[in-house]
Amino acid sequence: MSCERPLSYLEVEMDRVLSSELALHAGERVRLAGWMHRIRRLGSGMVFVHLRDRSGICQIVVEAPEAIASLDGLLAESVIEVEGMVAVEPQAAGGFEIHNPTFIVLSAVTDALPFPINKPVINAHLDTFLDHAMVGLRAPSKQAIFRLSAAAAHGFREALDAQGFTEVTTPKIIGTASESGANVFAIDYFGRQAYLAQSPQFYKQIMVGVFERVYEIGPVFRAEPHQTVRHLNEYVSLDAEMGFIKDHTTVMAVLMDVIRGMLSYMAGHCSRELELLHVGMPLAPEVFPHVYFPDAQQWIYEHKGEDCRGEPDLAPQHEKWIGEWAKEVHDSDFVFVTGYPMVKRPFYTAPNPKDPRYSNSFDLLFRGTELVTGGQRLNRFDDYARALEARGMTQDAVAGYLETFRFGMPPHGGFAIGLERFVMQLVGLTNLREAALFPRDMERLQP
């Protein structure tokens, strides 16, 4: 029996140079590895290969006949290892390129891609793209979207960690369809009926009783039969919940801090992606403008001539108008709408003590689209008992949840940001599906 020591990460990576690091190795012979992003065969003895790795793209100039021959028949996306000389070359993008290369083909591609992915614009319908997302996502412009997505989540974590929040993960398979029974997916759980969680709401509140401040990044599942550019049946929710608040305005203050944290993390770490996607940072003032729900309706009535006063909710068009108002009058791409009517909010929502028709809750609109919902929750058991009764719900269905409130819960509240929506609005995508790696909607389960 042999007992060979596996190579460490450092040893494995030791002599691999990334395409973005050529400047550090001018005049040296280096080894690179990656995908053949593009190959241009100029006649008689000159070939340009663009090599793509996780750091970017660099150019390799091939002139030796035997090196050119080693690339025969290879199509884009072949995986190759290259050894060659780093040369200073003003003509090359970035100022450096690889000369006198030799190649090892790690994985040859001989079939044409379903559509070219090395063009500035991907020329494929969204549906076609999604059918081939496994390879389409390699396109730099598509990569950039999901690097931004990752950075947004990172910024969210960083901002909340700094405020003493603890990250938690809660079950996505749950035993009771609690919050609003109609919108959950039922699954078979060893012969019993179970459901996919449509929100970590109950668990994050429970965890406030443990940690005071918690957050969670995870998928949520909505069995809503919608077919629009801003809905998915599975999406990533950035959830936060905190105890010992004054009311929903405390939550709003934390949320503003988080949004700014997300944006500044992206600005600091994703300049390349932001530039590639032509994304301008949104206007996010120190304090986001906010408008009380009935006042928003009154404003719409007076300025847009549409009378939605008394309606329990705002329509997408109303949200667009509010967003325009915030931008024009307050130089902000973000705007809070506070005090949504209690009838439109779930049973755990805390009412406005001065006018119990309205709630201590809010939505945050980002460029005219709903991005965040949040608010203050009830925190006393008796209030829950009354709220459930008023809605004709039984305590049995949520018994475990209610135990939390029987044994002492502080005034608390929280919010949930839709990650894909955030990225969609930031980048200016026209369809939320472009902000999800493998989106799930009513029709799509693959890939």
Binding site for RNA (CB under 7 A): 38, 40-46, 48, 50, 59, 61, 63, 73, 75-76, 89, 91-93, 97, 99, 112-116, 119-121, 123-128, 130, 222, 224-233, 235, 237, 313, 315-317, 344, 363, 370-373, 416-418, 420-421, 430-432, 443-444
Residue among 20 and 431 whose Cβ is closer to RNA? 431
Contact 370, 417 (CB under 8 A): no
Residue among 15 and 72 whose Cβ is closer to RNA? 72
Task: Give min distance, CB of 229 to RNA, in A.
Answer: 4
Residue among 109 and 283 whose Cβ is closer to RNA? 109
Beta strands in 43-110 (DSSP E): 46-53, 56-62, 79-88, 96-107
Q: Which residues 6+ apart lie within 8 Å of 208 measured at CB?
A: 214, 241, 242, 243, 409, 410, 412, 414
Q: Residue 229 half-sphere exposure, CB side, CA atoms within 13 Å?
A: 10
Residue among 6 and 90 whose Cβ is closer to RNA? 90
For residue 128, the SS3 value is: helix
Q: What length is written for the chain?
A: 447
Q: Which structure tokens are listed for 434?
A: 């472009």
Task: Give min distance, CB of 341 to RNA, in A.
Answer: 11
Task: Give min distance, CB of 170 to RNA, in A.
Answer: 17
Residues 68, 72, 77, 78: is their CA dihedral positive or negative?
negative
Task: Give min distance, CB of 307 to RNA, in A.
Answer: 14
DSSP state of 249: H
Task: Give min distance, CB of 375 to RNA, in A.
Answer: 10
Residue among 394 and 446 whose Cβ is closer to RNA? 446
For residue 229, the SS3 value is: coil
Dmax over CA atoms of the chain, in Å, equals: 85
Work out whether strand 46-53 and strand 56-62 pair parallel, antiparallel, or are unpaired.
Answer: antiparallel
Beta strands in 286-435 (DSSP E): 290-292, 334-338, 361-366, 369-377, 412-418
Residue among 233 and 359 whose Cβ is closer to RNA? 233
Residue among 111 and 302 whose Cβ is closer to RNA? 111
Helix-then-strand count for the chain, H and E: 13, 16
Residue among 191 and 334 whose Cβ is closer to RNA? 334
Task: Give min distance, CB of 111 to RNA, in A.
Answer: 8
- Between CA 297 and CA 316 the distance in angstroms is 13
Q: Which structure tokens are listed for 139?
A: 């396109």
85: number of Cβ within 10 Å? 16
Strand partners for 292: 338
Residue among 99 and 269 whose Cβ is closer to RNA? 99
**Cα-based torsion angle of the residue sequence 273, 275, 276, 278 in order, rounded to the nearest 10 degrees:** 120
- Listed residue (30, 164, 162) closest to 101, CA to CA: 30
Task: Give min distance, CB of 370 to RNA, in A.
Answer: 4
Residue among 63 and 331 whose Cβ is closer to RNA? 63
Task: Give min distance, CB of 266 to RNA, in A.
Answer: 18
